[in-house]
Chain A
Amino acid sequence: MLKGHYSFTIILKITMKRFIGFIKKEFYHIFRDKRSMLILFGMPIVQLLLFGFVITNDLKDVKMAVVDHSKDEYTLEIINKITSSGYFKLVENLDGIAQVDEIFRKGETKVVLVFEPDFGKNLVKGSHASVQLLTDASEPNMANMEVNYLQGILQNYNVEINRGKRVPNQIVPQTRMYFNAELESVYMFIPGIMATILMLVSAMMTSISIAREKELGTMEILLVSPLQPWQIILGKVTPYLVLSFINALVIVGMGYFVFGVPVLGSFVLLMAESVLFILLALSLGIFISTVSDSQQVAMMLSMFALMLPTILLSGFIFPLRNMPLPLQILSNIIPPRWFIVIIKNIMLKGTGFEFVWKETLILIGMTAGLIALSVKKFKIRLE
Chain B
Amino acid sequence: MDSKISIKDLSKSYGDVQALKGINLDIESGELFGLIGPDGAGKTSLFRLLATLLLPDSGSATLCGFDMVKEYKPIRNILGYMPGRFSLYQDLSVLENLNFFATVFDTRIEDNMEMIRDIWLQIEPFKHRLAGKLSGGMKQKLALCCALIHQPKILLLDEPTTGVDVVSRSEFWQMLKSLKAKGVTIIVATPYMDEANLCERVALMQDGEILSLNTPAGIISDFGRDLYAIQGKDIYQLLLDLRTYPHANSVFPFGQSIHYTDKRDAISPSELKDYLISKGQYDIEISKITAGIEDCFMALSQQNKVQA
- Which residues from chain A sit less than 8 Å from chain B, CB to CB? 14, 17-18, 20-22, 24-25, 28-29, 32-33, 216-218, 220-227, 380-383
Q: Which chain B residues numbered 37 to 55 have a C-beta less than 8 Å away from chain A? A: 48, 51-55
The stretch that binds A, out of B81-89, B260-268, B272-280, is B81-89
B90 in contact (CB, < 8 A): yes
Q: Which of B72, B83, B96, B146 sits near A217, CB closer than 8 Å?
A: B83
Q: List 13 A-B contacts (CB under 8 A).
A: A14-B106, A17-B106, A25-B96, A216-B90, A217-B86, A218-B87, A218-B88, A220-B51, A221-B81, A223-B53, A224-B51, A224-B79, A225-B104
The minimal Cβ–Cβ distance linking A43 to chain B, given in whole angstroms, is 21
Q: How many cross-chain pairs have Cβ atoms below 8 Å apart between A and B?
A: 77
Residue of A nearest to B80 (CB): A224
- Which residues from B are CB-within-8-Å of A21? 99-100, 103-104
Residue of A nearest to B97 (CB): A25
Chain B, interface size category, equals: 20 to 34
Known A-B contacts A221-B81, A225-B105; the reply to A381 vs B88 at CB < 8 A is no
Known A-B contacts A25-B96, A217-B87; the reply to A18 vs B54 at CB < 8 A is no
Query: With the chains together, A312 CA to B172 CA distance in Å?
Result: 57
Query: With the chains together, A218 CA to B104 CA distance in Å?
Result: 13
Dominant SS among interface residues on chain A: helix
Q: Which of A18, A216, A382, A383 sits near B104, CB closer than 8 Å?
A: A18
- Which residues from chain B sit less than 8 Å from chain A, CB to CB? 48, 51-55, 72-73, 76-77, 79, 81, 83, 85-92, 96, 99-101, 103-106, 146
Query: With the chains together, A217 CA to B87 CA distance in Å?
Result: 5
Closest CB pairs A-B (n = 10) = A21-B103, A217-B87, A382-B53, A224-B81, A217-B85, A32-B91, A25-B100, A225-B104, A14-B106, A226-B77
Known A-B contacts A18-B104, A381-B55; the reply to A33 vs B89 at CB < 8 A is no
The minimal Cβ–Cβ distance linking B10 to chain A, given in whole angstroms, is 15
- Which residues from B are CB-within-8-Å of A220? 51, 53, 81, 83, 87
Assess the A25–B106 pair: CB atoms within 8 A.
no
Assess the A382–B100 pair: CB atoms within 8 A.
no
Assess the B52–A25 pair: CB atoms within 8 A.
no
Residue of B nearest to A217 (CB): B87
The minimal Cβ–Cβ distance linking B3 to chain A, given in whole angstroms, is 16
Query: With the chains together, A383 CA to B53 CA distance in Å?
Result: 8
Residue of B nearest to A19 (CB): B103
Assess the B83–A221 pair: CB atoms within 8 A.
yes
- Which residues from A are CB-within-8-Å of B85? 217
- Which residues from A are CB-within-8-Å of B53? 220, 223-224, 381-382
The minimal Cβ–Cβ distance linking A76 to chain B, given in whole angstroms, is 70
Query: With the chains together, A29 CA to B51 CA distance in Å?
Result: 27
- Which residues from A are CB-within-8-Å of B146? 221
Residue of B nearest to A235 (CB): B104
Residue of B nearest to A21 (CB): B103
The minimal Cβ–Cβ distance linking A225 to chain B, given in whole angstroms, is 5
- Which residues from B are CB-within-8-Å of A382? 48, 53-54
Query: With the chains together, A222 CA to B104 CA distance in Å?
Result: 9
Query: With the chains together, A63 CA to B123 CA distance in Å?
Result: 71
